Amino acid sequence: MKILIKNAILLHTDKNKEEIGDLYIEDGHIRGIGKELNLDQNVEIVDGKNKVVVPTLIDMHVHFREPGYEWKETLETGSMAAVAGGFTAVACMPNTNPPIDNRMIVRYIYEKSNIIGLARIYPIGTITKGREGIEISEIGDMFLAGAKAFSDDGKCVLNSEVLRCALEYAKAFDVPIIEHAEDTNLTSEGSMNWGKTAIVLGLKGMPWVAEASIVARDIFLASLTEGKLHLAHISCWQSVEMIRWGKEKGINVTCEVTPHHLVLTEDYVKESGYDTNTKMNPPLRTEKDQEVLWEALESDIIDVIATDHAPHHIDEKMIEYNLAEFGISGIETAIPLMVTYGFHQRKIPLLKIFKKMSYNPAKILNLPFIPLEEGVPANLTIIDIEAEKEVDKDKFFSKGKNTPFHGWRLKGWPIMTFVEGRLVYREGKIFR
């Protein structure tokens, strides 16, 4: 295969550098990069106008459900959705059945990922055995088997002593503890953000303090232990202010935000007519929270954009709002949402957006990062930032069709995805 991409926007997210130039791929490797490459060989030429080339796009927060919940998603369907969404690698959360709390399941995920041969799937192990919040998992054993971080995601580690020990233990391996910040004593049986909208809709609310109080506690514990803390799916302005303070004090804390928290607010629950695809945890917050999240993204208080891809079966969403499962299928709409609302609407530079989806998550999780350089395998995504189309959940590769964005028209869709030298996705088709 010989492909020459002419006059595209090349984003060197590892070097904070952007350039207009050509990129030549032959036999799965980058053989040329620069200005006006002229080749005599019989090559396919791709017009790079309005095209962006991004290396090593990583979604560091997905739920691929296997083992145990294969009716929601499998490693294979999740991996197909990942490359269709433009991601070359993902990190999968451990709230499976059984949970990823031992080396055998860690190795299973690697072996299955290699067999599937699409996006690289990196497992995240549990902080505590069975995600019960009581006894720390065999962190060292799972790390040696390949676990890239540890989290009880979907559950918060409410016991401060347990989390303190986990931060100290994980520090020895230079891996992060990823916290789902939620005081469940304040959110039990809640369905959406606590406030006037919840009262009007007759739904029990989940207050911001349930998140922000745990964020504050965890930052103090990270300061005490000097451990590596990553805070998942931040949703309220109070959490942002605590993280800002922690960073200013030199505490080793990073965080992520999801596209749906940047694009939707609690008002959409009402506007959508109780669409259960607006039910997520943490819940959609207020316009003020949303604006602060965008500002924190631009000012680099927020380090990563991650999808929290949470596919569910239709039967788990087509029920009463308060009974429906939390979460949306987000991996196939993340890039067009960020291009549409981040780049086109808010004028955030593409380099800033995609650094938070490539180099930053690779650095936090110590994952391999393959740059745009001559001689290396093509591990990259080509995105047409002007291509506009309608979100169609029925065309998702994911088993999860639970999206609030069905029917939305978005700009900025991946057209080609290369994983370690292999073209695995091109304009709606998966290649093995």
User: Is 384 a known ligand-binding residue?
Assistant: no
User: Is 233 a known ligand-binding residue?
Assistant: yes
Q: Which two tokens stand for residue 368?
A: 């391999």
User: Is 95 a known ligand-binding residue?
Assistant: yes
Q: Which two tokens stand for residue 212?
A: 């922000």
Q: Which two tokens stand for residue 189?
A: 């049986």
User: Is 396 a known ligand-binding residue?
Assistant: no
> What distance in Å separates the CA atoms of residue 381 and residue 29, rounded to the nearest whole number?
14
| Cβ atoms of residues 83 and 404 within 8 Å | no
| Cβ atoms of residues 175 and 137 within 8 Å | no
> What distance in Å separates the CA atoms of residue 19 and residue 89, rounded to the nearest whole number?
24
| Cβ atoms of residues 368 and 90 within 8 Å | no
User: Is 180 a known ligand-binding residue?
Assistant: yes
- φ, ψ of residue 21 in degrees (nearest 5): -170, -175
| Cβ atoms of residues 144 and 173 within 8 Å | no
CB contact burial 88-114 (16+ within 10 A = b; e otherwise) = bbbbbbbbbeebbbbbebbebbbebbe
Q: What is the DSSP string of 353-400?
A: HHHTTTHHHHHHHT-----S-TTSB--EEEEEEEEEEE--GGG-SSS-
User: Is 153 a known ligand-binding residue?
Assistant: yes
> What distance in Å separates the CA atoms of residue 149 and residue 177, rounded to the nearest whole number?
6
Map tokens 């800002």 to a residue: 244
> What distance in Å separates the CA atoms of residue 13 and residue 16, rounded to the nearest whole number?
5
Q: Which two tokens stand for residue 40?
A: 């005599």
Name the β-bridge partners of 305: 257
Closest CA to 306 of 230, 379, 213: 230
Q: Which residues are catalytic?
A: 308
Q: Which two tokens stand for residue 197?
A: 């909208």
Closest CA to 391 of 66, 147, 38, 84: 84
User: Is 64 a known ligand-binding residue?
Assistant: yes
User: Is 326 a known ligand-binding residue?
Assistant: yes
User: Is 63 a known ligand-binding residue?
Assistant: yes
Annotated binding-site members for substrate: 63-65, 95, 281, 312, 326-327
Annotated binding-site members for Zn(2+): 61, 63, 153, 180, 233, 308
